[in-house]
Amino acid sequence: MTLIKEPDHGTPARAGEATVAVEIDGTEVLVPEGTSVMRAASEAGIDIPRLCATDSLEPFGSCRLCLVDIDGRKGTPASCTTPVAPGMKVRTQTPELAGLRRGVMELYISDHPLDCLTCPANGDCELQDMAGVVGLREVRYGFDGENHLDEPTDSSNPYFDFDASKCISCSRCVRACGEVQGTFALTIEGRGFASKVAAGAGGSFMESDCVSCGACVQACPTATLQERSVVELGMPTRSVVTTCAYCGVGCSFKAELRGDEVVRMVPYKDGGANEGHSCVKGRFAFGYASHPDRQLKPMLRERITDPWREVGWEEAIGYVARRMLDIQARHGAGAIGGITSSRCTNEEVYAVQKMVRAAFGNNNVDTCARVCHSPTGYGLKQTYGTSAGTQDFKSVARADVILVIGANPTDGHPVFASRMKRRLRQGARLIVADPRRIDLVRSPHVEAAHHLQLAPGTNVALVNALAHVVVTEGLVDRAFVAERCEDFEAWERFIARPEHSPEAVAGITGVPAEELRAAARLYAGAPNAAIYYGLGVTEHSQGSTMVMGMANLAMATGNIGREGVGVNPLRGQNNVQGSCDMGSFPHELPGYRHVSDDAVRSVFETLWGRTLQSEPGLRIPNMLDSAVDGTFRALFVHGEDIAQSDPNTRHVTAALSAMDLVVVQDLFLNETSKFAHVFLPGTSFLEKDGTFTNAERRINRVRPVMAPRTGKHEWQIVCEIAQAMGYPMKWDDASQIMDEIAMTTPTFAGVSFGKLDRVGSVQWPCNDTAPEGTPIMHVDGFVRGRGRFVETVYVPTEDRSTRKFPLILTTGRILSQYNVGAQTRRTGNVAWHPEDVLELHPHDAEVRGIRDGDTVALASRVGETSLRARIDDRMPVGVVYTTFHHPATGANVVTTEHSDWATNCPEYKVTAVQVTLKRPPAAEPAAARSVAAGER
């Protein structure tokens, strides 16, 4: 694929049938009502000169280049701001228009550096292009007098520069920041000749509220905002469309290259999930793929205290196979297992679980998805019949009320958050349920109608109280319930009990009863109400119960099965959904079908030529416990860092240390590899060939922009290990793996690389019934037939605050970093988050003698770590918060073994802790602080 420039029609498309006929330069064009003359012309193949217009932004009409002549209209109106009208006759080229356009361009060029040949945007500059289009050959005004040519360059951002001398004040960057991103960090300061783009209150980009999403850089028609990578490497000459490997939004990007070197990542306008938008991670933080820390050759060692030695692939694969077979022979068939990765492709995950089941001969396979969103799978399958969210991301544009529970979209899923903020600015109401006052509670042009600041661990009590109001105040959609649901009467009696009233649970949740009642009425009374939730729901001992509670609430109010409603999990990693779909759980084969189902198992046994176990295997916690007990002896860890990301780190490392063989496959030597005997180098997303499945069930192609730097695709390595163990497992390319997935997994029956290359992406189920995929689930009925109401009893978590551990720790993520930080810590993103910090309320800090920036000890009953304190009143009293992006902090040293009752998803969000002053910064020698910062 060599696409670089995508078509730009100047103004956005308008919805509706093409019913308005206009004549443009003698050509009749039929377009929807509300379409601009500029877009109508562009769709007819007629380009009108422009500078301030682009089809990702609403028309603005400031540059005066797009003037046209319209019969019966006075003057020369701007084509971008003029909507079509029936019978309209437009001329885009006349001598008068040509003269006006040249005059406008002369004014622009007279105050612009004439360094085109040395400018990094040479050949990719709209100002340069338009000068040619209007036939500008000379500038009559000269370059004497007042100008902006000496304006300074802002180089504060690690990824792009703002060269004010080249700015034409078209406002495209300002409008992109507001309309597309929704941050409103940029503005036009001053008037007339003095007008200029300003970041915040006239400071630098880094000092402003800019979140470095890149929308301003993408919108800029000149070299005013330019990526440093373009300056350093030159303009790209080709591009490949692929999928971001960060969060579960699944943004499509053009990887733009010069030769075989990636110059920049540009969000793809036709991306189903992002439609041309991006965040700082996907847009700029791709440099880790070529970081010198990457390990590109296999390594072995007999003991974890030995130094690593590099070996060839044949030796490494043979060693893994021999050791696995030997351990099985000595300790039994179930003594080995594997962990799949939510950062890898569907095809790679499918290969690993197949290796475990067919070559290892057991069901000891688990995935990091279980430690984040397995309650989603369990809860939604019990109530609706399928283990996935109900809507596509576009659906939020139809929501009238949005309930965000246990999620921080602006940090964790920023491109979706921009969509949501756009809808909120249009008038939708917002309810936020979160212990912290996240940015969505109040930010530019967005304010929550209700912030339900509940105590950590009380989600189920809260959702039961919301449902109680719905039932007892006559807000149930009884027609929907009668037609489409079952077990409602028993649930109604349960939820109507007095102990579920807002007044009764106020003491549990900390949310005032009237606030909770008002929020319930707002949600239930909306024409369309949608729930979006994150790890603050699932990573609890009652995660599965809470998911079922939200499903109950949506069914009771009829908010399922159409646009603008639903129960929508915001998945954390790029392929959390896909790793679950592919059979990464010890009890389920691909497609969420239980291993005990003889008919399902026979499909795989026939295809794979092996008898499969009918009993579920071990989950990660079971593997670790059994390793400590001496019965589980070898583990293949594919693309995960369980020594940093899993709870109760001491227990994890003790288990890893006890194993005879630990095999780690990853990009970098990580915390888990400290306990590994074999390290197999992995591939970055820029080298992968396959698919990711995002949070909305969208299957996106991941196309390689370069050959694997390690010499092998990850699925090839897995196949070769299986073959060396005696199982004939082979595919010629990744497309054949997807063909096998489609052959064995009903929801993927219609998926192939060829189809994805033709249509862009599809959302499963994709089969004969839905050949183009399924954007909205449960439209005419639930997957299980009738939606099932489930009683959701609130059970307090076992890990409660005590005199010794009086505070509750909850954890989360931050915008600039990703998961355990292995990728983002090796990019310029460290400029925003060089270390994990502990947020605590001023009251909790004062009683402990802690000042902002002090080093504190964070201790629980299982472990202790230290980090710097950040005092912030967005935390409630008694609750502290940190992230887990830096191994130097190792926040999971303190998280406990408590987990969800149904899925073993760890309870990361509720840990009883104590915080004590360790040492103020002033007491640390300057050299020591410098070294510590360098290590991070």
Tokens standing for residue 164: 């004010």
CA distances from 310 to 290, 300, 668, 775 (A): 19, 7, 14, 47
**Which residues, in sequence order, are CB contacts of 300 under 8 Å at separation 6+?**
308, 309, 311, 315, 316, 319, 677, 678, 679
- Asked if residues 457 and 428 have their Cβ atoms less than 8 Å apart, the reply is no
In the numeric block, the tokens 């970098």 are attached to 668
Give the separation between CA 36 and CA 14, rounded to whole angstroms: 9
Give the separation between CA 247 and CA 574, rounded to whole angstroms: 4
Kindly write down the DSSP assignment for every residue of 256-307, as one continuous string: EEETTEEEEEEE-TT-TTTTT---HHHHHTTGGGG-TT---S-EE-SSTTSP
Which DSSP helix (H) or strand (E) runs through 405? strand 401-405
Query: Which class for 802: exposed (0-12), middle (13-18), buried (19 or more C-beta within 10 A)?
Result: exposed
Q: What is the mean pLDDT of residues 15-34?
A: 93
**pLDDT at position 789:** 98
Question: E strands of 308-357, at which residues?
Answer: 309-310, 336-340
The residue with greater pLDDT, 929 or 770, is 770
pLDDT band per the 50, 70, 90 thresholds, residue 934: very low
Give Dmax over CA atoms of the chain in angstroms. 92
**Can you name the residues that pair with 811 across neighbouring β-strands?**
882
**pLDDT at position 920:** 57
**Euclidean distance between the first and the last CA atom of the chain, given in angstroms as a whole number:** 39
DSSP 8-state code for residue 769? S
- Asked if residues 66 and 55 have their Cβ atoms less than 8 Å apart, the reply is no
Give the separation between CA 381 and CA 389, rounded to whole angstroms: 10
**Can you name the residues that pair with 693 across neighbouring β-strands?**
699
**Can you name the residues that pair with 91 across neighbouring β-strands?**
69
Kind of pairing between the strands at 252-258 and 309-310: unpaired
Does pLDDT of 66 surpass 50?
A: yes
Does pLDDT of 175 surpass 50?
A: yes
Does pLDDT of 898 surpass 90?
A: no
Positive or negative: CA dihedral 249, 254, 259, 262: negative
Percent of the chain residues past pLDDT 90, beyond the cut:
81
For residue 817, the Cα-to-chain-centroid distance in whole angstroms is 11
Give the separation between CA 310 and CA 300, rounded to whole angstroms: 7
Give the separation between CA 175 and CA 355, rounded to whole angstroms: 51
Strand order, beta sheet including 69-70: 27-32, 18-24, 89-91, 69-70
Among the listed residues 876, 866, 814, 864, the one whose alpha carbon sits nearest the alpha carbon of residue 838: 866
- Asked if residues 401 and 424 have their Cβ atoms less than 8 Å apart, the reply is no
- pLDDT per residue over 325-365, tens digit each? 999 999 999 999 999 999 999 999 999 999 999 999 999 99
Query: Which class for 696: exposed (0-12), middle (13-18), buried (19 or more C-beta within 10 A)?
Result: buried
Classify 74 as helix, strand or coil.
coil
pLDDT band per the 50, 70, 90 thresholds, residue 675: very high
**Which residues, in sequence order, are CB contacts of 655 under 8 Å at separation 6+?**
623, 624, 625, 627, 628
Question: E strands of 714-862, at which residues?
Answer: 761-763, 787-788, 807-812, 837-840, 855-859
Q: What is the mean pLDDT of residues 704-731?
A: 96
Among the listed residues 150, 154, 171, the one whose alpha carbon sits nearest the alpha carbon of residue 162: 154
Question: In this structure, which long-range contacts are made by residues 85-88, counting pairs with CB atoms below 8 Å and at least 24 apart in sequence?
Answer: 85/20, 85/22, 86/20, 86/21, 86/22, 87/21, 87/22, 88/22, 88/23, 88/37
- pLDDT per residue over 805-861, tens digit each? 999 999 988 999 988 888 899 999 999 999 999 999 999 999 999 999 999 999 999
Task: Estimate the crossing angle of helix 734-744 against helix 598-608, to 10 degrees.
Answer: 150
Tokens standing for residue 513: 């009863």
In the numeric block, the tokens 């090796």 are attached to 826
Give the separation between CA 188 and CA 197, rounded to whole angstroms: 5
**pLDDT at position 2:** 60
CA angle centred on 14, ends 12 and 17, rounded to 5°: 150
In the numeric block, the tokens 């099965």 are attached to 561
Cis peptide before 527 (omega within 30 of 0): no
- Asked if residues 823 and 285 have their Cβ atoms less than 8 Å apart, the reply is yes
In the numeric block, the tokens 């004014």 are attached to 107
- pLDDT per residue over 742-772, tens digit each? 999 999 999 999 999 999 999 999 999 999 9
What is the gyration radius of the CA atoms in the chain, in angstroms? 29
pLDDT band per the 50, 70, 90 thresholds, residue 280: very high
Q: For the chain, how many residues are written?
A: 936
**Which residues, in sequence order, are CB contacts of 692 under 8 Å at separation 6+?**
243, 245, 250, 345, 346, 574, 575, 578, 699, 700, 702
Give the separation between CA 873 and CA 436, rounded to whole angstroms: 9
Give the separation between CA 375 and CA 94, rounded to whole angstroms: 65
CB burial of 823-837 (b: ≥16 within 10 Å; e: otherwise) equals bbbbbbbbebbebbb
Percent of the chain residues past pLDDT 70, beyond the cut:
98
**pLDDT at position 648:** 80
Tokens standing for residue 501: 């009233």
Which DSSP helix (H) or strand (E) runs through 869? strand 864-871
Give the separation between CA 531 and CA 545, rounded to whole angstroms: 16
Among the listed residues 533, 528, 523, the one whose alpha carbon sits nearest the alpha carbon of residue 416: 533
Does pLDDT of 571 surpass 90?
A: no
Tokens standing for residue 923: 């007491």
| 243: phi then psi, degrees, rounded to nearest 5 | -125, 140
**pLDDT at position 37:** 96
Give the separation between CA 388 and CA 155, rounded to whole angstroms: 43
Among the listed residues 858, 861, 887, 860, the one whose alpha carbon sits nearest the alpha carbon of residue 870: 858
**pLDDT at position 138:** 80
Among the listed residues 329, 365, 349, 360, the one whose alpha carbon sits nearest the alpha carbon of residue 725: 360
pLDDT band per the 50, 70, 90 thresholds, residue 924: very low
Query: Which class for 190: exposed (0-12), middle (13-18), buried (19 or more C-beta within 10 A)?
Result: exposed
**Which residues, in sequence order, are CB contacts of 624 under 8 Å at separation 6+?**
632, 651, 652, 655, 656
| 54: phi then psi, degrees, rounded to nearest 5 | -155, 145
DSSP 8-state code for residue 233? H
CB burial of 455-465 (b: ≥16 within 10 Å; e: otherwise) equals bbbbbbbbbbb
**pLDDT at position 115:** 86
Classify 130 as helix, strand or coil.
helix
Which DSSP helix (H) or strand (E) runs through 8? none
- pLDDT per residue over 68-121, tens digit each? 999 999 999 999 999 999 999 999 999 999 999 999 998 898 888 888 888 988
For residue 561, the Cα-to-chain-centroid distance in whole angstroms is 24
- pLDDT per residue over 597-650, tens digit each? 999 999 999 999 999 999 999 999 899 999 999 999 999 999 888 888 777 888
- Asked if residues 38 and 48 have their Cβ atoms less than 8 Å apart, the reply is yes
**Which residues, in sequence order, are CB contacts of 30 under 8 Å at separation 6+?**
18, 19, 20, 21
The residue with greater pLDDT, 935 or 788, is 788
Does pLDDT of 935 surpass 50?
A: no
Question: E strands of 577-717, at which residues?
Answer: 588-589, 593-594, 634-638, 661-666, 678-681, 690-693, 698-702
CA distances from 87 to 20, 22, 24, 32, 41 (A): 8, 5, 10, 14, 14
